[in-house]
Amino acid sequence: MTVGPDPSASGSSAPPAGRYPTGTSPARRRRWLIGLSVLVVLAGIGIAYVGYSRFADPPVSGEGTGYSIVDSSTVDVSFTVTRNDPSKAVACVVRARSRDGDENGRREVLIPPGDSQQTAVDSRVKTTGPPAIGEVFGCTTSVPPYLTADNG
C-alpha cells in the first residue's frame, strides 16, 4: 500500500521546491575555498616570520667556557663572545650562583670592538655568599651609557 504520489512516476527525483534549502553554487564554493586558502597561506607566512625573528641567529651571544671559585666571595668566569659585527662593542652580564641556585653576584662586562667575531673574555665576580658556579647570563649590542672602557 502506497501513501502519496509515486516519486518515480513524475520522472524527477528532486525534492519539492521550497521545502529544502538549495545548495550553494559551484562558483560560490570556489570563491570560499580560494579565500580560505589565501588565509591559510598568510597565517603560515606570519608564523614563519615570527619563528624566524625569535629563533634566528642573534647578533651577539655569550657562552661560558669555565669558571673558577677563587674564595668564599669571588668567582672567575671565562666565556666566549660571538658577534656578527666585531666592529661594535657589546655588553655581557656574568653572574655567580650559590649552591641552592640563587644568584649571589652579578657583573656587567664591556667587550670593546675588535677584529674577530669570537672573543675570549675572563671576568671576576664578587658575591654576597659562597659561590657554587659562574655563568654568562646574556649579551647584548645595546651597551648602556654608564658602561664605558674607562670603568668597564
> pLDDT of 88-104, one tens digit each?
999 999 999 999 999 99
Contacts of 139 (CB under 8 A, 6+ apart): 60, 61, 62, 81, 90, 91, 92, 93, 111
Pick from 107, 136, 139, 111: which is nearest to 124 by CA?
107
Residue positions counted in the chain: 152
Task: Answer yes or no: is pLDDT of 20 > 70.
Answer: no
Q: What is the C-alpha radius of gyration for the chain, rounded to an integer number of angstroms?
A: 34
- Which three three-digit cell numbers place residue 150? 674607562
Residue 21 neighbours by CB distance under 10 Å: 6
* pLDDT value at residue 59: 86
* pLDDT value at residue 17: 66
Grid look-up 648602556 returns 144
Q: How would residue 52 be classed by pLDDT, with cut points 50, 70 and 90?
A: confident
- Which three three-digit cell numbers place residue 39? 588565509
DSSP three-state, residue 95 = strand
What's the CATH number for 60-140? 2.60.40
CATH 2.60.40 residue ranges of the chain are 60-140
Report the chain's mean pLDDT, rounded to a whole number.
85
Q: Where are the alpha helices (DSSP H) in 70-113?
A: none
pLDDT above 90 covers a percentage of the chain that reads 59
Global model pTM greater than 0.85: no
The secondary structure of residue 29, as a DSSP letter, is H
* pLDDT value at residue 105: 94
